Amino acid sequence: MTLPLREELASVQPYGAPQLDVPVRLNVNENPYPPAPAVIKSVLEGVAEVLPTMNRYPDRDFMELRAALANYLYEEAGVTVEKERIWAANGSNEVMLHLLQAYAGEGRTLLSFAPTYSMYHEYARDTGTNWVAGTRAADFKLDFNHVEAEIERTRPSILVLASPNNPTGTALTLEEARLLADLTRGSGPVIGGAPTDTVLVIDEAYGEFRREGTPSALTLLDEYPHVVVSRTMSKAFGMAGLRLGYFAAAREIVDHVMRVRLPYHLSATTQAVALAALSHSKELMSQVAHMRATRDNLVIWLRSKGLDVADSDANFVLFGKFADRERVFAQLLDRGVLIRVVGPEGYLRVSVGTDEEDARFRAALEEVL
Ligand SMILES: *Cc1c(COP(=O)(O)O)cnc(C)c1O
């Protein structure tokens, strides 16, 4: 080796689920329905409007998009957040990276509870942050004695919890989220002799799929200025190809992440496409309701086959338990159905597809079982 690659990257493989060209792709939790013709028309008009000024850098602070995202959060969760309290970047992955760049790094800790999203570990590694993953209970919910002990032991700069959690589908109740917000007050690193708060990030990438009666953690923001709720247009919104994620939080947190963002990080086309897509959010919500129903039926069906299936508030289902999950995965793939080997040993994850994809997945699994 003659290049000065950081030692911690020496044996690392670039992250990513297989991108295979098979008929039924249910492995990365995308919305399976392509954008409607009316959405495509709006997007084309929006992009046409910005093209004549493409010689200029884009609007650095993208206030129009932040206002549209705030408006969407009001429609979706009934919570009012001023546009100045919204931040966005190229996917919620970049939003998270901004948070780590501002609050974590050398000598600081990012805490989460596994099984959970494998990217959290990578953000920590890439920012030189100490990564600590506690565990979840057998039903994938949090054990609050363990959570409290880990917070006290590690004094994390950031505690990140996906709700609904990937790959288990487990959502936090509002009471649990509130308890976490209480536990993270004054539990962060001691700076200048005084304890700081741990930034509590609730990653609601799958928030729109939560079941009736589970409020969004957005409702806690006004009460807890150290809480961040992140969202994305990649999942429910059906715009994974766009790369647009965002969070809502206190103004101070937005002010802090602005110090680390790259110049003009959101391109003019990204802003235009996101704005155009957001203008169709109402139609999208009815599609999400359909996917939720598909998910609930899928859980019931998998259980009827005698499988162990985690309760899901997301657009995917974790099921098992297989003595050889790699075999089940491969035999489904032979039948043109791509799912994901992820989560605890013996389990597989399948994303909610279109009605036709759902039927093909079930037919293939019946053959394999
Ligand atoms: C898919 C996913 C995201 C979304 O990432 P984007 O960068 O917005 O596409 C974020 N968090 C979790 C837990 C996810 O599963």
Give me the phi and psi of 126, to 5 degrees please.
-70, -20
Closest CA to 277 of 74, 72, 77, 63: 72
Say yes or no: CB of residue 93 within 6 Å of ligand 1. yes
User: 14 pLDDT exceeds 90?
Assistant: no
99-108 mean pLDDT:
98
Distance 92 CA to ligand 1 centre (A): 6
Residues in the chain: 369
Closest-CA residue, ligand 1 atom 2, reads 205
Confidence of residue 111 (pLDDT cuts 50, 70, 90): very high
Distance 289 CA to ligand 1 centre (A): 20
Looking at ligand 1, which atom is closest to the CA of residue 235?
Answer: 1
What confidence tens digit (pLDDT) does each residue in 22-62 have?
999 999 999 999 999 999 999 999 999 999 999 999 999 99
Sheet holding 348-351, edge to edge: 308-309, 316-320, 348-351
Say yes or no: CB of residue 207 within 6 Å of ligand 1. no
Confidence of residue 16 (pLDDT cuts 50, 70, 90): confident
Instruction: Give DSSP secondary structure letters for 153-199.
Output: HH--SEEEEESS-TTT-PPPPHHHHHHHHHHTTT-S-EETTEEPPPE
Say yes or no: CB of residue 204 within 6 Å of ligand 1. no
- In angstroms, rounded to a whole number, what is the distance separating the alpha carbons of residues 230 and 249? 9
Looking at ligand 1, which atom is closest to the CA of residue 92?
Answer: 8
Confidence of residue 17 (pLDDT cuts 50, 70, 90): confident
Say yes or no: CB of residue 168 within 6 Å of ligand 1. no
Say yes or no: CB of residue 230 within 6 Å of ligand 1. no
Closest-CA residue, ligand 1 atom 6, reads 91
Say yes or no: CB of residue 92 within 6 Å of ligand 1. yes
- In angstroms, rounded to a whole number, what is the distance separating the alpha carbons of residues 69 and 244? 11
Contact status, residue 347 vs residue 10, Cβ threshold 8 Å: no
Testing ligand 1's pocket by substitution, the residue of 90, 94, 203, 266 carrying the most ligand atoms inside 8 A of its CB is: 203
What confidence tens digit (pLDDT) does each residue in 302-339 have?
999 999 999 999 999 999 999 999 999 999 999 999 99
Residue for token digits 């006290």? 152
Confidence of residue 262 (pLDDT cuts 50, 70, 90): very high
Identify the residue with better confidence: 150 or 18.
150
- In angstroms, rounded to a whole number, what is the distance separating the alpha carbons of residues 223 and 281? 28
Distance 205 CA to ligand 1 centre (A): 5
Tokens of 168: 């288990």
Note the helical H segments in the chain: 37-50, 63-77, 92-103, 119-126, 144-154, 174-183, 251-258, 268-278, 281-304, 325-334, 355-368
Contact status, residue 234 vs residue 240, Cβ threshold 8 Å: yes
- In angstroms, rounded to a whole number, what is the distance separating the alpha carbons of residues 192 and 154? 18
pLDDT of residue 38: 96
Contact status, residue 257 vs residue 242, Cβ threshold 8 Å: no
Residues 6 or more apart from 331 whose CB is under 8 A from it?
364, 367, 368
- In angstroms, rounded to a whole number, what is the distance separating the alpha carbons of residues 145 and 134? 11
Say yes or no: CB of residue 117 within 6 Å of ligand 1. yes
- In angstroms, rounded to a whole number, what is the distance separating the alpha carbons of residues 265 and 207? 25
Residues 6 or more apart from 135 whose CB is under 8 A from it?
113, 114, 143, 146
Say yes or no: CB of residue 115 within 6 Å of ligand 1. no
Phi/psi region, residue 309 (left: phi>0; alpha: psi -120 to 50; beta: rest), is beta
Tokens of 285: 């919500």
Confidence of residue 213 (pLDDT cuts 50, 70, 90): confident
pLDDT of residue 362: 98
69-74 mean pLDDT:
98
Say yes or no: CB of residue 27 within 6 Å of ligand 1. no
Say yes or no: CB of residue 188 within 6 Å of ligand 1. no
127-151 mean pLDDT:
97
pLDDT of residue 135: 98
Distance 91 CA to ligand 1 centre (A): 7
User: 207 pLDDT exceeds 80?
Assistant: yes
Testing ligand 1's pocket by substitution, the residue of 234, 242, 243 carrying the most ligand atoms inside 8 A of its CB is: 234
Testing ligand 1's pocket by substitution, the residue of 99, 121, 166 carrying the most ligand atoms inside 8 A of its CB is: 166
Testing ligand 1's pocket by substitution, the residue of 123, 232, 244, 349 carrying the most ligand atoms inside 8 A of its CB is: 232
Give me the phi and psi of 333, to 5 degrees please.
-60, -40
Say yes or no: CB of residue 234 within 6 Å of ligand 1. yes
pLDDT of residue 29: 96
User: 1 pLDDT exceeds 80?
Assistant: no
pLDDT of residue 214: 85
Omega before residue 156 within 30° of 0, cis: no
7-12 mean pLDDT:
90
Confidence of residue 256 (pLDDT cuts 50, 70, 90): very high
52-81 mean pLDDT:
97
Closest CA to 159 of 183, 178, 138, 190: 183
What confidence tens digit (pLDDT) does each residue in 288-307 have?
999 999 999 999 999 999 99
Residues of the chain with pLDDT > 90: what percent?
A: 94
